[in-house]
């Protein structure tokens, strides 16, 4: 293939991939499998590597990230990015409508319509962004910042697959479109699940996660976070229509993701109906919203009303009320996770909130404490909202006692008194004493014996603490040196209990390599990434021989995981533990049976499992799917290939599958797919 032929091939591939991206991420109507899509992308990347002069900044290959941004330069907005004034009640909205009519002189004009045409939009809870397009190409993406200038995050925004790099149709030559970058609930829950698996504190909420992700230096990490973006406002000369709603529909035809829930309303009563509906229905959305934005549709009327110093007079945000309570902060304590992550916890005077009694709330990290200026004995406002656990939103400064001293963040570990460290790129402090700090040592052992790891049922947290305090366990390798006669003298350890424990430890030696790799507790290596790594490297010796660059070639492995693996095995104590575990007889290579089962028969297919099965457990079915290249999902969407249905499956899942035309199969059907 010569360069001219390669150029045509790259152009055709790029066009196809862009179309499939739009179908999948904007329309939610994929027409090819993930496997077929990945093959197209691989072919494009290979061609661009062979002909680097043909790599364009608008290429779909640029969405995978990999560029490092050391510094985000500050950029002045072409149009100020003003915030909206807020309303919290029906009365506020009626006042807004009256002031609009007064400003438009509709009260005195006998020929004017009685109602104003408003556009109602969901108020997405994320990060505001301004995207500039020149001749249909994305040239710049800038955050809100202070409204006058923001940060250039173009490289990171290019990884968001719902943001078009190149437009289609009849678009203006130069314009800006504004919107909100956000994280859907499912990816957020998955990130927190993986963080909990590797012993890290859960992230606070999707909004903060989206905002923090946008400022990450490694665009490959940004790409892995699966951010999304809705657009909701056009600015510039040559905008095609005189109405805001009509321009949003035009933008949709150019390739932008416009929320299907945006509605054109006639008069304030329709606006109030829209607000009432979403005050309840928002809980069913796959993303977080915190209110409704109301704008006048007609641009001429917007200009007539103009702006105050801080916000437009032609738009307002209605904010939903989050349930909140005020209570006294009794103390701030610090928890140590098994990876050494330190989490400050607010201990509260018990208060009723959202139907439960709240006694504790996470303060997340030192930056949050500093930002809130929260102090022991302060009265604080606590919210539940969409949080994983309750959070402190602010301090009631009117009730603050002047004697309340500014809180100084802990400088040493509350358990082992080692000096805490904090990496420049991370928000949390850590205890570096990983091999001797009691909560870390015990946490590592609890993780090691857990169901998804070595599955030693008879060795629970209480027994681990007892054995640790007795000096019988100092690390995970010590588990395999335990003798029955050592256990019998311990309190609550009878003959049968001791025998069950020894047998459970012996049985764990048959646990497959991928679970052993997860069990040893390498920071950032979760259950999914351990499986991918194990199936790629096949054995521990190969893993130990890989360089960082070679690790990065493994699916699911980014900079953070690669560095963590190298750091873990560079520690002499961890190497010694590994050697002892190998001598104890644990599985550190894939079995012949596992390698025989591994394949790509289900590559590109996504399964949802529901119900009770007779031949296999749900975990076994998930394992079979993953071993053969398929993906498991918890919810049905247009991207689901099959619903694997057992007895007593959820009626809602069945109804949704039928509505979306998702094929429903049994465990027998799955067996046949694997046989064929």
Q: Are residues 248 and 149 in the same domain?
A: yes
Q: Give start and end residues of each alpha helix (H) in 22-109.
A: 34-50, 90-103
Q: Are residues 467 and 554 in the same domain?
A: yes
| Contact present, 257 and 234 (Cβ < 8 Å) | no
pLDDT at 108: 63
CATH at 409: 2.40.50.140
Report d(CA 647, CA 649) in Å as an integer. Answer: 6
Q: Which domain holds residue 341?
A: 322-432
How would you list the strands of the sheet with 86-87, edge to edge? Answer: 86-87, 315-319, 289-296, 117-124, 263-266
Question: Phi and psi at residue 349, in whole multiples of 5°?
Answer: -65, 120
Average pLDDT over residues 504-526: 93
Query: Is 140 strand, coil or helix?
Result: strand
Closest CA to 121 of 239, 254, 295: 295
Q: Are residues 260 and 189 in the same domain?
A: yes
Min mean pLDDT across 35-39, 590-594, 609-613 is at: 590-594
Q: Is residue 539 part of a domain?
A: yes
CATH at 151: 3.30.470.30
| Residue of 512 and 115 predicted with greater confidence | 512
Q: Are residues 409 and 341 in the same domain?
A: yes
| Contact present, 395 and 378 (Cβ < 8 Å) | yes
pLDDT at 255: 95
Q: What is the pLDDT of residues 469-500, one digit of tens each?
A: 999 999 999 999 999 999 999 888 888 889 99
Q: Are residues 415 and 550 in the same domain?
A: no
Q: Are residues 265 and 366 in the same domain?
A: no
Enter the tokens of residue 50: 């062979």
Looking at 8, 49, 73, 123, which residue is catalytic?
Answer: 123
Q: How far is CA 126 from CA 28, 183, 207, 294, in A?
A: 21, 7, 5, 18
- Mean pLDDT (the chain, rounded): 89
Q: Are residues 258 and 173 in the same domain?
A: yes
The yes-or-no answer on residue 631 being catalytic is no
Query: Can you spell out the DSSP letters for 10-42?
Result: HHHHHHHHHHHHIIIIISS---S-HHHHHHHHH
Q: Is residue 71 part of a domain?
A: no
Q: Are residues 165 and 295 in the same domain?
A: yes
Q: Is residue 104 part of a domain?
A: yes
Domain boundary pick from 275, 302, 319 = 319
Query: Can you spell out the DSSP letters for 311-343?
Result: SBTTEEEEEPPPPEEEEEEEEEEEEE-TT-BEE
pLDDT at 112: 53
Query: Can you spell out the DSSP letters for 254-309?
Result: HT----TT-EEEESHHHHHHHHHHHHHHGGGSSS-EEEEEEEESBHHHHHHH-B-S
Report d(CA 629, CA 606) in Å as an integer. Answer: 10
Four-residue CA torsion sign, 150, 154, 159, 162? positive
Q: How far is CA 574 from CA 133, 262, 577, in A?
A: 52, 55, 5
Q: What is the pLDDT of residues 146-183, one digit of tens each?
A: 888 899 999 999 999 999 999 999 999 999 999 999 99
Domain boundary pick from 286, 319, 352 = 319
Four-residue CA torsion sign, 72, 75, 77, 80? positive
| Contact present, 281 and 287 (Cβ < 8 Å) | no
Enter the tokens of residue 315: 């738009």
pLDDT at 562: 93
Enter the tokens of residue 382: 């606590």
Report d(CA 604, CA 600) in Å as an integer. Answer: 9
In angstroms, what is the C-alpha Rg of the chain?
28
pLDDT at 328: 96
Domain boundary pick from 409, 432, 455 = 432
Report d(CA 366, CA 394) in Å as an integer. Answer: 15
Q: Is residue 72 part of a domain?
A: no
Q: Are residues 376 and 231 in the same domain?
A: no
Four-residue CA torsion sign, 568, 570, 574, 575? positive
Give pTM, 2 decimals.
0.63
| Contact present, 183 and 226 (Cβ < 8 Å) | yes
**Per-residue pLDDT band at 130 (split at 50, 70, 90):** very high
Task: Judge whether residue 113 has pLDDT over 70.
Answer: no
Q: Which residues contact 66 (CB under 8 A, 6 or more apart)?
A: 218, 219, 220
Closest CA to 343 of 404, 388, 395, 397: 388
CATH at 581: 1.10.150.20
Q: Are residues 178 and 46 in the same domain?
A: no
Average pLDDT over residues 596-604: 74
Task: Judge whether residue 198 has pLDDT over 80.
Answer: no
Task: Judge whether residue 111 has pLDDT over 60.
Answer: no
Q: Are residues 414 and 293 in the same domain?
A: no
Residue with tokens 């053969």: 628
pLDDT at 551: 93
Q: Are residues 413 and 486 in the same domain?
A: no
Report d(CA 248, CA 262) in Å as an integer. Answer: 9
Q: Is residue 82 part of a domain?
A: no
């Amino acid at each position: 293939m010569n360069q001219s032929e390669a150029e045509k091939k790259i152009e055709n591939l790029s066009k196809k991939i862009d179309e499939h991206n739009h179908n999948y991420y904007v329309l939610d109507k994929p027409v090819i499998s993930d496997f077929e899509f990945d093959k197209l992308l691989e072919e494009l990347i290979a061609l661009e590597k062979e002909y680097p002069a043909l790599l364009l900044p608008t290429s779909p290959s640029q969405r995978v990230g990999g560029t490092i941004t050391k510094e985000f330069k500050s950029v002045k907005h072409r149009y100020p990015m003003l915030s909206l004034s807020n309303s919290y009640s029906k009365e506020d909205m009626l006042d807004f409508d009256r002031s609009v009519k007064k400003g438009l002189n509709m009260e005195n004009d006998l020929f004017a319509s009685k109602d104003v045409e408003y556009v109602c939009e969901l108020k997405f809870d994320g990060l505001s962004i301004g995207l500039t397009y020149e001749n249909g190409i994305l040239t710049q993406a800038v955050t809100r910042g202070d409204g006058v200038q923001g940060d250039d995050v173009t490289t990171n925004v290019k990884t968001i697959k719902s943001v078009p790099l190149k437009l289609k149709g009849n678009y203006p030559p130069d314009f800006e479109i504004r919107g909100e970058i956000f994280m859907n609930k499912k990816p957020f829950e998955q990130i927190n699940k993986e963080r909990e698996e590797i012993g890290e504190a859960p992230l606070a909420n999707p909004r903060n996660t989206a905002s923090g992700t946008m400022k990450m230096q490694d665009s490959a990490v940004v790409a892995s976070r699966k951010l999304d973006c809705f657009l909701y406002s056009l600015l510039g000369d040559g905008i095609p229509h005189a109405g805001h709603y009509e321009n949003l529909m035009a933008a949709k035809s150019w390739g932008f993701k416009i929320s299907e829930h945006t509605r054109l309303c006639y008069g304030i009563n329709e606006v109030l109906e829209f607000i009432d509906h979403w005050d309840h229905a928002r809980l069913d959305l796959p993303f977080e919203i915190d209110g409704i934005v109301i704008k006048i549709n007609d641009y001429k009327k917007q200009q007539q009303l103009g702006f105050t110093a801080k916000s437009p007079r032609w738009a307002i945000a209605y904010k939903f009320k989050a349930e909140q309570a005020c209570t006294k902060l009794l103390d701030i304590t610090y928890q140590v996770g098994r990876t050494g992550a330190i989490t400050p916890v607010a201990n509260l005077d018990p208060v009723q909130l959202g139907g439960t009694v709240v006694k504790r709330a996470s303060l997340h990290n030192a930056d949050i404490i500093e930002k809130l200026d929260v102090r022991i004995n302060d009265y604080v406002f606590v919210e539940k909202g969409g949080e994983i656990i309750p959070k402190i939103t602010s301090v009631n400064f009117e009730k603050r006692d002047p004697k309340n001293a500014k809180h100084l963040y802990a400088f040493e570990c509350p358990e082992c008194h080692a000096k805490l460290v904090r990496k420049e790129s991370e928000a949390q402090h850590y205890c570096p004493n990983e091999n001797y700090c009691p909560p870390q040592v015990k946490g590592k052992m609890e993780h090691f014996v857990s169901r998804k790891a070595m599955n030693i049922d008879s060795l629970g947290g209480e027994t681990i603490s007892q054995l640790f305090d007795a000096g019988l366990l100092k690390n995970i390798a010590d588990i395999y040196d335990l003798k029955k006669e050592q256990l019998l003298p311990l309190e609550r350890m009878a003959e049968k209990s001791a025998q069950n424990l020894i047998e459970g430890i012996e049985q764990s030696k048959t646990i497959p390599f991928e679970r052993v790799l997860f069990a040893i507790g390498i920071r950032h290596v979760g259950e999914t990434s351990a499986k991918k790594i194990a199936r790629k490297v096949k054995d521990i010796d190969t893993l130990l021989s890989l360089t960082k660059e070679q690790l990065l070639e493994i699916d699911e492995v980014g900079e953070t995981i690669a560095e963590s693996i190298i750091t873990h095995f560079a520690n002499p104590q961890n190497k010694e533990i590994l050697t002892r575990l190998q001598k104890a007889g644990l599985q550190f290579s894939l079995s012949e049976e596992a390698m025989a089962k591994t394949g790509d028969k289900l590559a590109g297919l996504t399964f949802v499992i529901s119900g009770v099965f007779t031949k296999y457990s749900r975990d076994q079915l998930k394992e079979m799917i993953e071993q053969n290249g398929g993906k498991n999902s918890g919810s049905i969407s247009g991207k689901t290939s099959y619903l694997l249905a057992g007895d007593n499956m959820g009626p809602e899942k069945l109804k949704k599958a039928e509505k979306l035309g998702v094929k429903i199969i049994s465990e027998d059907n799955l067996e046949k797919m694997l046989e064929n």
